[in-house]
Amino acid sequence: MILGYNTKVAIIMIIRLLLNVSLFTSFWAPCRQLANTLKPYGVLVMCVVSLVVVNGAFYLLFPAQGHHPWKALDAINPFNPSSRIQAAYIYQNRTPDKVLGDFNYMMGSQLAARGQLIAAETFLAKASVLKPNDSTVQLIYGSVLESLGKLEPSVAIYQKAIDAAPGEVAGYYRLGMLYDRMGKTHKGIDLLHQALLVEPDDAYLNYDIGVLYSKSGDYQGSATYSKRAFLADDQFAEAYNNYGYALGNLGQYEDALEAVDKALELKPDNAASLDTRGFALQGLRRYKEALVEYEKALKLDPAIGEIYLHRAQTLQKMARLKEALDSYSKYLRLEPKAPDRPDVERIMTELKETLGIEEAQKEISPEGAPIHGQ
């Protein structure tokens, strides 16, 4: 059954009246004496007093800008949580700044948790100004801005979080990962190293530095920090995998295979680790075995573009050029902004030229005379 607006308000008011009457008559001696003196009208008097107190309080709290106090009541009742924002704006206009910082933070964080990011941004922007030295406020505000795609403003807010709490990891970490998202991976690595000064043995922090080093092409750095990660946590499968991938890119294929086997021992059905195993086997020229690993990985997650890239490289080494060309194409479709796109496109052009020559040669008879048009 769907209740109408007036019905909802009436139910809430009755509950509030009963609660207030109970409190007044139970705990406030003068009211209890008055109720006894005015029998049989004592309860009625208490209802009137309670009604005046309740509505008077709401009117003082939410008085202006054309909002009726009944609307303000509805704004904070559980039947209509979305209109709390409207009441909150009225509250802001009536409350001193010393209270508003916490209030705006509370409203903003709750709205962000519900996914109402635009409304959250409004409250958190005010909280950020009113509580400049609260790193938690700055981190949540920066996260909301980042989620809204406002990357440059979120850089400044994350920096405020660092300035507010230079001894905490979170600000350095968030800003570092944001820089990586913005294509400034080296800046991101620098920020994560600052975080590492605070918590040098944090496995996940070391792992993320290893990942960023790998993205930047520094596989020695990637191997170093990936190893630190699994030494800090020997159950960290992703760290073993990243270590194995770094070693593979350094040409240490046997060691890479050993590392990724450990990763698969911890997490057998991991597409990224199966891809790394295929990559290591490819380096060892065990091409058929590598293809088996790639197929397993693609069954688990066909949306990882890098698997198609490694598969294409293996097929090309096996002289299965048409299949290699198809796999390269799938890689570029899944990774349209891949940094190695120009190189892959060049390889694809060369493969097409080679395949074109082969097709032309098939149309020539063994004796060298054309099959058609004799």
Residue 216 has pLDDT above 70, yes or no: yes
HSE (side-chain half, CA atoms, 13 Å) at 69: 13
Could you give the angle at which helices 42-61 and 5-27 cross, rounded to 10 degrees? 120
Q: How far apart are CA 320 and CA 169, in angstroms?
A: 49
pLDDT single digits (tens) 87-131: 555 455 545 555 678 888 888 888 899 899 999 999 899 999 989
β-bridge partners, 370: 364
pLDDT for 71: 43
pLDDT tens sequence across 277-312 = 999 999 999 999 999 999 999 999 999 999 999 999
Within 8 A by CB and 6+ apart from 6, the residues are none
* Distance separating alpha carbons of residues 5 and 90, to the nearest angstrom: 21
Question: Is the whole-model pTM more than 0.85?
Answer: no
Residue 340 dihedral angles phi and psi, to the nearest 5°: -95, 15
Compare 110 and 18 and report the one with higher pLDDT: 110
Is residue 2 within 8 A of residue 63, CB to CB? The reply is no
pLDDT at position 340: 92
Domain ranges across the chain: 95-200
Q: Could you tell me if 344 and 333 are in contact, meaning their C-beta atoms sit under 8 angstroms apart? A: no
Q: What is the largest CA-CA distance in the chain?
A: 126
Q: Is the pLDDT score of 226 beyond 90?
A: yes
Q: What is the CATH number of domain 95-200?
A: 1.25.40.10
43-60 per-position pLDDT tens digit: 566 666 666 665 555 555
Contact 156, 139 (CB under 8 A): no
For residues 248 and 280, the answer to whether their CB atoms sit within 8 Å is yes
CB contact set of 89 (below 8 Å; sequence gap of 6+) = none
Query: To which residue do tokens 């959250």 refer?
Result: 120
